[in-house]
Structure 1
Amino acid sequence: MGVVNNLGATLSTSDTHPIGDSGLSFLMFSLDAAEKGFGSSTLKDQGYHFANIPMKLRLIKTGDTPNGEVIPAGQIASFNAGTLQLVKFLLSNSTTITAPSCQTKDINVKMGQYKLNDFPNDGSPSKRTVPFSIEIYNCPAGINKVMYSLIPSSSSPVWNTTQGIIKLNQSSTAKGIGLQIIDDQLTPIILDQPKLLSQYSADGGNFTIPLNARYLKIPDDPSIVPGTANAEMTFVMSYL
């Protein structure tokens, strides 16, 4: 006697039943006992009966769960004695697994025009900073923490990780300068490192990350060549 899994492999020695490649499995319980899970062909005939006995189905995470994975409605399993189906277990509605996440949009920061004398000779950043914000919205309730990080792109590789400086992209005609990202306290953002979104509340909602961008002379280059100065990076959020 035992469970036959309609959504994945029927394992002969386990009461945990995988649901396809969803990263989820189900456990099936009879509430007339101490919530012992029903396994696959592991029970002997000990006078079990199912009339008027409540059943419980528990989903557990057993692997990576793809966002948007669907557990279909219909029969998910049966409890068989040999080839005889004693009980069928069905889901009345399909279930879609969604990862809790916030939303954001691409941001285009217009840096404006600069003169050569806007860049100090000692290689320190330009005195001109351009404020911008990353808007985070539609955060669901229940997320404990939100982390964010800025990741240099292959088109604008990192020049100094701890100082938040990336190089201009290859289509830029300017030479000798880089772009630095700093927070609202003018502290450099460490690149490729998660940073806690301190404004976040477990109630969810909309939030703003205030940042600044500024150019600076890269010491490795002997001089600055005027021209277009563009760069890109990726904004990544993670959730705990």
Structure 2
Amino acid sequence: MNVRKVLSLLAVLLVCGAPQLAQAFECRITDGAATTATMALQISSLTVPRDAPNGTYLYTQAFQNADAGIQRIGCTDAIESEGEGYGYVAGVLGSVSSSAVPAMAGKIYETGVPGIGVVWQVTSDTSLNVGKGTYFYLPIKCLPSNNLRAECYTGRSGSVRVPTTFRVALVKTGPVGIGLIQASALGRAILRIRFSYLSGSTSSNEVDVVTLGLTGSIRVVSKTCTTSDVSVPLDRSKIMPLKGAGMSLPAVNFEIRLTNCPGFPGSISSGGGGALSSQNGGVIGPSRSPNTLKIRIDPMAAAIDASKGVLSLTAEKRAATGVGVQLLDESGQPWILSKEVGVPNLEANTVSLTIKLSARYLQTAAKVTPGLANAVATYTLNYQ
């Protein structure tokens, strides 16, 4: 009998004690629910311009939060006037060296493909890089209900402003390799708000308002234009037409051909603006800056006149004197040596290009002596 009475008394104590536990400080969304979304990557392959500098945005994609704006929060006790917002990236690989992209130090992570890092950003009034477990402050404020500020300070409910856009970006961090970037390696962004108990207690409660993940994969392809050496057989004319400095022989046309190019789809502007956006299942195309392709021609020996595209002849026995080889562009104007010149008309689906030039003998001194008249130059392509 006594044992039975003791057990009954304990049961009563436990039942009475249960409601007391429920009084712990707690906050939750009272209107609707937190945003939990998965965004599909909108590209399946990526080719990186060979000469793009570290820090270049290779691809960005944004999620427009349809639930952005004011989110109603309710707490079991009075809350402070402001919620402290912070975000972090969960499930990412190791951090990229801070020296690779100093502006994103500590907030850019490996993707599994060398030379490409991932960074998450939150945009509202400003754009902030989200670090792994790193706190950052947003325009998240406790707003008074019914325009009564006192209620926000002392009440048990309030509202917060939720950022409108999350953005994920792939950024060049070094020499780029090849491979497959899985969405799972890019992590997921989580935005939380911490509310503190108004009485000054250290007690606080956190509410997840947005969780965003990714699906899909992107294959990184290593491909550059194929080029070859160019030999230009100049006219073996007699020197009779050359009767004074500045005189020239007829020009010979030639071409520098680029084949098997990766295409020129353009790049995201600095800072990642104009990202691909996904909202309610729709996709908004990005705003891109055109790729640039520049060619530079350098003489193997000191030029006679670089500004007028005049190459000196190679030093060899029985070489001619008083003459050089002048390079001209497609319109017949002198090609400036040792200077990058842009190649126009680059299209996204361009796989081959032809740069048209010409060369001719040009008299550079008062007297010309006959002999071998060869010249050599190198050309370099810069693709960004």
Structure 1 length-normalised TM? 0.64
Does the C-alpha gap of structure 1 residues 228 and 25 become closer, same or farther in structure 2, counting only changes over 3 Å? same
**Contact in 2 for aligned 1:173/1:229 (Cα 8 Å):** no
How far did 1:180 drift?
A: 0.4
Q: Find the partner of 2:177 among 60, 63, 68.
A: 68
How many angstroms apart in 2 are the aligned matches of 1:21 and 1:172? 53
Counterpart in the other structure of 1:205: 351
2:374 pairs with 1:230: yes
Deviations 1:170-227 (A, max 9, x none): 23642322110112332111122232323443431333222110011223xx633322
Counterpart in the other structure of 2:37: none
How many angstroms apart in 1 are the aligned matches of 2:344 and 2:375? 27
How far did 1:4 drift?
A: 7.5
**Contact in 2 for aligned 1:152/1:191 (Cα 8 Å):** yes
2:108 pairs with 1:16: yes
**Contact in 2 for aligned 1:7/1:20 (Cα 8 Å):** no
Counterpart in the other structure of 2:251: 129
**Contact in 2 for aligned 1:16/1:27 (Cα 8 Å):** yes
Q: Find the partner of 1:166 among 290, 294, 311.
A: 311
Q: Find the partner of 1:102 among 225, 242, 261.
A: 225
> Max radius of gyration: which structure?
2
How many angstroms apart in 1 are the aligned matches of 2:97 and 2:254? 55
Q: Secondary structure at the match of 2:352?
A: strand
**Contact in 1 for aligned 2:119/2:171 (Cα 8 Å):** no
AA in 1 matched with 2:368:
I
**Contact in 1 for aligned 2:254/2:358 (Cα 8 Å):** yes
AA in 1 matched with 2:177:
G
Task: Note the residue ranges of structure 1 that are not aligned, 5 or more in a row.
Answer: 30-35, 44-55, 80-88
Does the C-alpha gap of structure 1 residues 159 and 225 become closer, same or farther in structure 2, counting only changes over 3 Å? same
How many equivalent residue pairs?
A: 208
AA in 2 matched with 1:184:
E
How many angstroms apart in 2 are the aligned matches of 1:199 and 1:62? 25
Counterpart in the other structure of 1:157: 302
AA in 2 matched with 1:227:
G
**Contact in 1 for aligned 2:310/2:327 (Cα 8 Å):** yes
**Contact in 2 for aligned 1:147/1:194 (Cα 8 Å):** no
Q: Secondary structure at the match of 2:259?
A: strand
More helix by share: 2
How many angstroms apart in 2 are the aligned matches of 1:119 and 1:217? 7
Task: Note the residue ranges of structure 2 that are not aligned, 5 or more in a row.
Answer: 1-87, 99-104, 122-127, 136-165, 189-212, 267-289
Deviations 1:26-76 (A, max 9, x none): 2469xxxxxx97744547xxxxxxxxxxxx99453153x324355788x95
Counterpart in the other structure of 2:274: none
Does the C-alpha gap of structure 1 residues 230 and 22 become closer, same or farther in structure 2, counting only changes over 3 Å? same
How many angstroms apart in 2 are the aligned matches of 1:149 and 1:136? 11
How many angstroms apart in 2 are the aligned matches of 1:78 and 1:199? 38
Structure 2 length-normalised TM? 0.43
Q: CA RMSD in A?
A: 4.1
